[in-house]
Structure 1
Amino acid sequence: MPTNASTGTGGLSAGVSSTLPRRQLGRYLRDWRTQAGLTIAEAAKLMEWGASTLQRLEKGQADRIRTIDIHELCRIYGIPDPLAEGLTGLAQQAAVKSWWHAYGDLIPENFDIYVGLEASARRLRAYQSELVLGLLQTAEYARALNHLGYPKDSVDELDRRVALRLQRQALITRKHSPAEIDVVLHESVLHRIVGDAKVMAAQLRHLADTSTRSNVTLRILPFAAGVPLGVSTGPFTVLEFGTDSKGQPVEPPVVYAEGFTGDLYLERRADVRRYDRAHECLQRHALDIQPSRDLLRRVAKEYVA
């Protein structure tokens, strides 16, 4: 399993440019600089840098990252301490193409790396074998899951978590350039009760309705399909970030696989291709789009019968 590597308060020599932790660090710094009302030139001057140095950092292409510099940028931009701690952790990650982010290891557990990555995606291909994909969850389905996952949360904290989950869904519902998603759900997801029957009925109706959107493709992998790959992949998402004016990827695609104690991010071409082929295989064995929608509506009715 890939592991993290850190350098304490020093820096890293980048053997490979544009790795995922560095891109995420740059993305956060760019957003906070913009919120602070600073241009690249203005912020670079405050750091006594050339503008190109800060630009490379924001693009995830810096040759060397010092945590002392990240601390200073966080101070200049007014970044809160908990978030600054997470950014410092990102700065300390090794330049690798396969990254296992163990919760609480350098980066605080409540620092959500995936959400920032997802928000930049232009296309997502996912497989879910246990739960509804977060981008397709209803408020009550999300609330039931978060209540189980965070039993000590107050009602206000729970409401905040649900609101954040729903805000993420703007990625596929916004009017301007919504992201495309292609999802395969195992049939077991339809029968695994989250909340109660009423919550499940509403959730399945929501899936059926959402699947009519032009940017959403949703297929159900039936029990009868068996194990198409011969092995279990577990849930995964392949994220793509669009292309530039020359038709080249803006950023390399990333495979995200969520774990109980950490998350796996893969960028190596061979790894991404393997998950691409896995998703294609699952699609071939899944029901077509309309039969999948019909099954969702039929099971939804069964819950409220």
Structure 2
Amino acid sequence: MTTNDSSDDNSTTLPRRQLGQYLKENRLGAGLKLEEVAPLMQWSASKLSRIEAGKSPNVRVIDVEALCGIYDIEDAEVVAGLVGLAKQSAGKSWWQAYDDIMSGNFDLYVGMESSAKHIQIFRPDTPSGLFQTMAYARAADRIYFSDITDEELDRRIELKTKRQALITRKTNAPTIELVLQEGALRTVLGGPEVMRDQLIHLANMPINVTVRILPFTAGFPLGTAPGPFTILDFGQDVKGRKVSPTVVYIESYAGDMYLERTKDVGRYRRAYDVMQQSSLDVASSKRLLRQVAKEYRA
């Protein structure tokens, strides 16, 4: 069993998800149902389900060892690996300091984003928070969170800035692809100067980030507008096995969703591929970004 030991990443989310994945596989391998195992642990089935989904922040070592006994896991190396993951998942993550300003389960997304090795993002409206300048982010959040204090707004901008640090991480920086519809370049937030700086920022991304613009002339390549989504991949271990299942994160005004079923992930991968193929290439996208940025100087 290979555990995540990336020293540059304080994420507890990935070890938590790995632990849940391995525990579920061993439960199924033992031919046991949630409803059969949970009473043995004096838990509800929903609690065990949350642990297997990587959504429980505190999984005790003693509980992992008890589950290993229930599942007849006798390999000392496997038990040690699961215990190691439990210890990692119990640590503190940097984003927990911002729990008071993160709505819903956005902390789950930030943890996965921090752990991902490859990220594909489609945005029809505004650049993802990963790519927003401070001035652009402030203008956007001031409108969306109209009732927050200046201090809360500052903390939201600070959170985005800390998220963006993964782009320029010295080791194991993820590869990130962004497809942005052209309308986002011409939808003004914060005024001409803010827009100009934002577009130049997008045009000057580091080598591990590619930005492609889906032009107006492409119409609707899917025949419909899918809304913003992000595909997060977590890489493979030394045996070529996925470290953790791929996740599709879908943002909406009514709330966010996380999809992991193979069918759902495949559908969004195909959608992303279609829109990427319909977009301008990287060089042409940079030219368009700089061209529109110049228009804001007028």
Q: Is TM-score (shorter-chain normalized) higher than 0.5?
A: yes
SS of structure 2 residue aligned to 1:23: coil
Quick check: 1:24–1:117 contact (8 Å CA) kept in 2? no
Quick check: 1:185–1:221 contact (8 Å CA) kept in 2? yes
Quick check: 1:24–1:116 contact (8 Å CA) kept in 2? no
Matched, 1:141 2:172: no
Aligned residues: 240
The answer for the alignment partner of 1:23 in structure 2 is: 54
Deviation of the 1:24 alpha carbon:
3.8
Quick check: 1:129–1:185 contact (8 Å CA) kept in 2? yes
Matched, 1:256 2:249: yes
- Distance of aligned partners of 1:240 and 1:18 in 2 relative to their CA distance in 1, 3 Å threshold: farther
Deviation of the 1:152 alpha carbon:
2.3
Deviation of the 1:15 alpha carbon:
9.5
Residues 210-249 of structure 1 mapped to structure 2, 5 A cutoff = 210=205, 213-249=206-242
Residues 1-305 of structure 1 mapped to structure 2, 5 A cutoff = 11-12=44-45, 22-25=53-56, 28-29=57-58, 44=61, 50=66, 109=104, 112-210=107-205, 213-305=206-298
Residue range with higher mean Cα deviation, 182-191 or 155-164: 155-164
Aligned partner of 1:12: which letter?
A
Instruction: State the Cα deviation string for residues 248-288 of structure 1 (Å, max 9, x = none).
Output: 11001011111112111111111111111111111111001
Deviation of the 1:58 alpha carbon:
8.4
The answer for the alignment partner of 1:101 in structure 2 is: none
Q: Quick check: which one's helix share is greater?
A: 2
Instruction: State the Cα deviation string for residues 118-159 of structure 1 (Å, max 9, x = none).
Output: 111111111100011111111111111111122222222211
Matched residues in 2 for 1:251 and 1:240: separation?
A: 8
Quick check: 1:23–1:58 contact (8 Å CA) kept in 2? no
SS of structure 2 residue aligned to 1:262: coil
- Distance of aligned partners of 1:185 and 1:159 in 2 relative to their CA distance in 1, 3 Å threshold: same
CA RMSD of aligned residues (A): 3.4
Unaligned runs of 5+ in 1: 1-6, 31-42, 61-72, 87-106
Q: Percent identity?
A: 41
Quick check: 1:18–1:59 contact (8 Å CA) kept in 2? no
